[in-house]
Structure 1
Amino acid sequence: MPRLLLALVATAILGTGCTSTDYDFVETASVKKLPFKDSDPQDFGKNHPGRHEVHGIDLSKWNGDGIDWATVKKSGIAFVFIKATEGKDRIDPTFEKNWRGAAAAGIPHAPYHFYYFCSTPDEQADWFIANVPRGAVTLPPVLDAEWNHASPTCKLRPDSATVRDVLQRFMDRLEAHYGKRPIIYTSVDFHRDNLVGSFNDYQFWLRSVAAHPGEIYAGRRWAFWQYTSTGVVPGIKGETDINVFAGTAKNWNSWVATVSDNKTVASAE
């Protein structure tokens, strides 16, 4: 399927019958409780994550390398975003073990890249492509775009126009290579500073651990919501980030089938 058509079909699947940034809360309202425990649960009010049917996790080296993937799958985890690379020269040491474990368990997965503003988008795209095989990208790859407050080496904050320009270049490179339009992960402050009103033809994964994203990302349509960093998932030691998909289980299955149906990518392995 041509790349542009693939993106349009995926967008159409997510958008069918949706009239708000919440996709289809009416259909998912019957789901009352969160399926996973939380070490520090928040009160999200009526629009809580338990109203969504499809839950997933995101992982990095901080989760360790002793994950029991069969138990994770059995617990009900439907997807996993896995940290792959940072900047132009760092790779997460657990990346390969994690994506292969997820693949063996039959859990749809995608790698993510933490963007550094102290190197060029082409340098970072080259690094990602060199370290992330197409087999690790069953779901679209993710661009993690946020300010890096804790970095000892890169505290650069370009103006918003420059930010959007370099992110676009990076995503264009990934889409051309993997045949899937990237998902954008972001935080409240970075979105406010750089992304409001931009990249509306991309799917967003939003961090919002104290309130529903509709309350703090006004007008932003989202596909994934990271609602906690203190979740408890069977098969993983310690606390874990947990996310929900915006649509129903039926929407999810259709979307996964669409973004995974890339014969060009599959034949390149």
Structure 2
Amino acid sequence: MQSVQPGLARGIDLSQFNGPQDWPALKAGGQTAFALIRATDGLSLVDTQLAANAAGARAAGIPHGFYHTLALPAVPPADLPGFGNAQAAAFLAALDRLGGYQGWMLPPFMALEGVPPAWTPEQAVTLLAQFGDSVDVAIGNPAQRTGIYANVNTLGVLAAAPSVRRVAVRPLWVAWWSPTPPPDVGPWTAWTVWQLTDAARVAGEPRPVDADIWDVPAAALPYPPGAAGPAAEIADAAAAVTAAQTALAQAQAALARALRAL
């Protein structure tokens, strides 16, 4: 897969296990260009920090989106499509209570943290495809197509499924804790988001946190309504410099006139 290029957006991903966040401090720290926030896990668990993280990221003007951790029981359910739909419904219901998935949010992701031994690769792909399709239909925005989070070992399992391309066409958030680029795995040859480590030190967060990089510059990310992205912040700074230079020139001219009058 591709290596990291200069200027790409760097961010974090969070869940209740990271505890409460100081979102203004994360914004001021300048090292959190985006955040991926856990919303739900399985059929019923709602992250205890979901509401606080969603409100905090929006108030701080940090681009953000949400992810669901897929729960796979030891034995695959008989109705895999129904099981995928049920987890998608839990994810969407939790976000509906916060106002729903908005068009300015980052795309959602479904996190697959492994495939139990009793599952075939095809069964895992079926679950992923059903969850992703259900969420996509509910959101109704092609620009927010649901992506998949997995490490390279899990991708290797999925790659053995005959219908793997049903999920390989989705954005990939790959967990690869190494300074070298992730290897290609079957049909996966590029990442959208790369989780670099689970122990980063980020300005504004005193504890270790998962660090990620998005394959676009921060200016290309969608920002919450009313938030100033990097381009606007640069423009504001340039305008402030121009205003200061104008004020200085006026003060110098006034001083020169005063000296001539002496």
TM norm structure 2:
0.70
Shift of 1:122: 1.2
Contact 1:224 1:243 in 2 (8 A): yes
Shift of 1:71: 1.2
Contact 2:112 2:150 in 1 (8 A): yes
Shift of 1:202: 1.4
Shift of 1:158: 1.3
Contact 1:63 1:236 in 2 (8 A): no
Residue of structure 2 equivalent to 1:90: 45
Whether 1:55 aligns to 2:7 is: no
Shift of 1:212: 2.6
Superposed CA deviations along residues 137-168 of structure 1, whole A, max 9, x for unmatched, are 511111101217xxxxxx56410111111110
Shift of 1:200: 3.5
Superposed CA deviations along residues 77-104 of structure 1, whole A, max 9, x for unmatched, are 1110011101101111011100110010
Equivalenced residues, count: 204
Residue of structure 1 equivalent to 2:109: 142
1:158-197 equivalence runs, <5 A = 158-179=119-140, 180-195=144-159
1:4-43 equivalence runs, <5 A = 21-22=1-2, 25=5, 28=6
**CA distance 1:212–1:246, shift in 2 (3 Å):** farther
Superposed CA deviations along residues 178-217 of structure 1, whole A, max 9, x for unmatched, are 2321121111211111147633321111111124333364
User: Partners of 1:201 and 1:210 in 2: how far apart?
Assistant: 24
Residue of structure 1 equivalent to 2:90: 127
**CA distance 1:96–1:195, shift in 2 (3 Å):** farther
1:75-114 equivalence runs, <5 A = 75-76=29-30, 77-114=32-69
Residue of structure 2 equivalent to 1:39: none
> Which ranges of structure 1 fall in alignment gaps of 5 or more residues?
1-20, 29-51, 149-154, 261-269
TM norm structure 1:
0.68
> Which SS does the other structure have where 1:82 is aligned?
strand
* Poorly superposed stretches of 4+, deviation over 6 Å: none
Amino-acid identity (%): 27
**CA distance 1:82–1:75, shift in 2 (3 Å):** same
> Which SS does the other structure have where 1:237 is aligned?
strand
2:204 to 235, 246, 257: 235
Residue of structure 1 equivalent to 2:252: none
**CA distance 1:23–1:186, shift in 2 (3 Å):** same
User: Partners of 2:195 and 2:4 in 1: how far apart?
Assistant: 18
Higher relative contact order (CA 8 A, sep 6+): 1
1:179-218 equivalence runs, <5 A = 179=140, 180-195=144-159, 198=165, 199-215=167-183, 217=185
Shift of 1:220: 2.0
User: Partners of 1:136 and 1:96 in 2: how far apart?
Assistant: 13
- Amino acid across the alignment from 1:244: I
> Which ranges of structure 2 fall in alignment gaps of 5 or more residues?
78-82, 226-262
- Amino acid across the alignment from 1:143: M
CA RMSD of aligned residues (A): 2.5
- Amino acid across the alignment from 1:220: T
Contact 1:117 1:157 in 2 (8 A): no
